[in-house]
Amino acid sequence: MGYRNLQDCIADLERRGELIRIEQELDPRLEIGAVQRRVYRAGGPALLFTRPRGSRFPMLGNLFGTLERTRWLFRDALRGVETLVRAKIDPRELLKSPSALLRAPLAARYLLPRRVRKAPILAHRTGLEQLPQLVSWPRDGGAFITLPQVYSEDPAAPGWRHSNLGMYRVQISGNDYGPAEAGMHYQIHRGIAIHHRRALEAGQPLRVNVFVGGPPALSVAAVMPLPEGMPEIAFAGLLGGRRIDLTSAANGLPMPAEADFCLTGWLDPAVLKKEGPFGDHLGYYSLGHEFPVFRVETVHHRPDAIWPFTTVGRPPQEDTSFGAFIHELTGELIPEVLPGVHAVHAVDAAGVHPLLLAVGSERYTPYAEPGRPQELLTQANAILGQGQLSLAKYLLIANAGDNPPELQRIDDFLRFMLERVDWRRDLHFQTRTTIDTLDYSGRGLNRGSKLVVAAVGKPLRRLAAVLPENLRLPDGFSDPTLPLPGVLAVRAPAWGAPPHGNDPVLDQFCRRQEKLGMDEGIALVVLVDDPQFVARSLDDWLWTVFTRSDPAVDIDGLGADTLHKHWGCTGPLVIDARLKAHHAPPLEELPEVEKKVDELGGPGGPLHGII
């Protein structure tokens, strides 16, 4: 049986030695987040901050800080979830016909929430200003709820069966927000958007509840990529191994009886306000933009309420464990949802959505050796049309029949692709489309391009392991290095144009190909600000190249040509991965805050031996 509430979970972790209490007073502004990030990097325990400055509510961080701990939290229910997956039982069908639950595996009975009148969450009320004011990064626009569970219902079909529970960040102070206002930042391709649109079309506000805390299964369910029509509140019961008890909040919507907090209110249909900046999971600040205003009427909380939080930043962070755990739960479903696709892997080090790796099947002409990508392109289009996979910016897809490496072996997979790709044929662009809201490499908010790279067949080249002897760079370009086999990194002049302007550097490099002297062992060139940085590790290379480039704008190549509107090149592909004037600033730690964290790890400190 899973945890009834967060308090039971904390007690269990403490008995197991997986949680420590930090009794020193620490500031939720910058200090507490810095501690959590440092302990995460050390693979350390969950952290209960008992004295956050300015608030009477303890704060819980790093709950999901390791994949092993995350698995352990749900140990009692995982077998039931796996049974449903392997039996190919669609929980949506069970919810349509509850009598079918009697014939389903035992775990399925936890899908149905239960209504209760008496509940801990009804005990007390407070205001936004009394909540912990977590500020994770120096340029953040204010305090944010970083593990919110945002609940809404379809205005045309009220009730939990047509609900959405999503993790959309909520700004509770700063900017131009009043004392009972918060910013509701939801990105594209989020379920709440459907409910919000229907409310706006009906000329009415959208009622919203924001849960914080409660059974850990609620937080995971809020980020699960569930199929449309599957309510997350039901999946939370399945994952948590017990039915979710619901009671009524002040605004009439349900809230979990065992939640720690619930902010109730509605989205104002007439007002947008600036939300952000916010240090986000790509490793940069998402900038301030106009987003809906959440009018907070009531803040419910239980008597022993604890405020769970996380901080995000350049991967890996605590949300990396979320992603890995979700992949374990859903990976087996990929061939069912996407016929012919064997596996998909969103690369965490590249910021998740910027880079997607996949393995598909070439089955169109089984009587012949694949001579060019065919069905792979159909499968790539299917991937880019599926849920949050549609936010991918770069998609690299290989043929299972060619025996590619496992997708988690990223360097080996990249080598496999670069050995086989034909740049004249295998590049497929979408030039004006939507990309991740948090990605500022494109032409504006939610605007950018995508690139599919599909490769089949035997190797076409042997990748260089050392710099070519005859390499000659044009004036202004320097410090060549090989961060990966067949990949050349070159220092290029700093970006010198206005935001989204026409900087000639990429064109200058590619049009001077007679001076380069590169042999066929160089398949890819990346123009960067610091070649030594990208050569330092695979993660540094992935993060730089895929978060700082917009495929349609920042890709060129040697011997480039367009034939029948298809662009390709005969020589190496070139990606401009410099920082540009329209990019968001990268996140940086404050030395004085890091020094304080160091002190907590010193002799006699609560983190001694951990960090």
Question: How far apart, in whole angstroms, are the C-alpha atoms of residue 134 and residue 36?
Answer: 12
pLDDT tens digits, one per residue of 460-478: 999 999 998 888 898 899 9
Residue 92 pLDDT greater than 80, yes or no: no
Q: What is the pLDDT of residue 327?
A: 85
DSSP state of 585: P
45 upstream amide cis, omega within 30 of 0: no
Average pLDDT over residues 71-78: 89
Model pTM score: 0.92
Whether pLDDT at 237 is above 60: yes
Residue range 399-407: mean pLDDT, rounded: 96
Chain center to CA of 219? 14
Q: Which of 62-66, 132-136, 371-375, 418-422 has the lowest mean pLDDT?
A: 371-375
Instruction: Work out whether strand 285-286 and strand 343-346 pair parallel, antiparallel, or are unpaired.
Output: unpaired
Report which of 145, 155, 161 is spatially closest to residue 210, judged by C-alpha positions. 145
CATH of domain 6-314: 2.30.110.10
Look at residue 106 in the predicted model and tell me its pLDDT: 62
- Which tokens hold the place of 541? 């290379």
Mean pLDDT of 288-302: 97
Q: Cite the residue boundaries of each domain of the chain with CATH code 3.40.1670.10.
A: 325-455
Q: What percent of the chain has pLDDT over 70?
A: 94
Whether residue 277 is preceded by a cis peptide bond, meaning omega within 30 degrees of 0, is yes
Could you tell me which of 507, 487, 519 has the C-alpha nearest to residue 556? Answer: 507
Question: Per mean pLDDT, which range of 132-141, 251-260, 317-326, 527-536 is the poorest?
Answer: 317-326
Question: Please, what sign has the CA dihedral across residues 152, 134, 309, 186?
Answer: positive
Angle of the 318-330 helix axis to the 216-223 helix axis, nearest 10: 70
Average pLDDT over residues 378-383: 95
Contact between residue 523 and residue 572 where contact means Cβ atoms under 8 Å apart:
yes
Mean pLDDT of the chain: 92
Main-chain dihedrals φ then ψ at residue 15, nearest 5 degrees: -60, -30
| Three-state secondary structure call for residue 455 | strand
The residue whose two tokens read 């020589």 is 571
Indicate whether 69 pLDDT > 70: yes
Entry field: residues in the chain: 611
Domain 325-455, classified CATH 3.40.1670.10, yes or no: yes
Boundaries of CATH 2.30.110.10 in the chain?
A: 6-314
Contact status, residue 162 vs residue 231, Cβ threshold 8 Å: yes
Burial class (CB in 10 A: 0-12, 13-18, 19+), 457: middle
For the segment 127-138, the average pLDDT, to the nearest whole number, is 97
Distance CA 239, CA 389 (A): 23
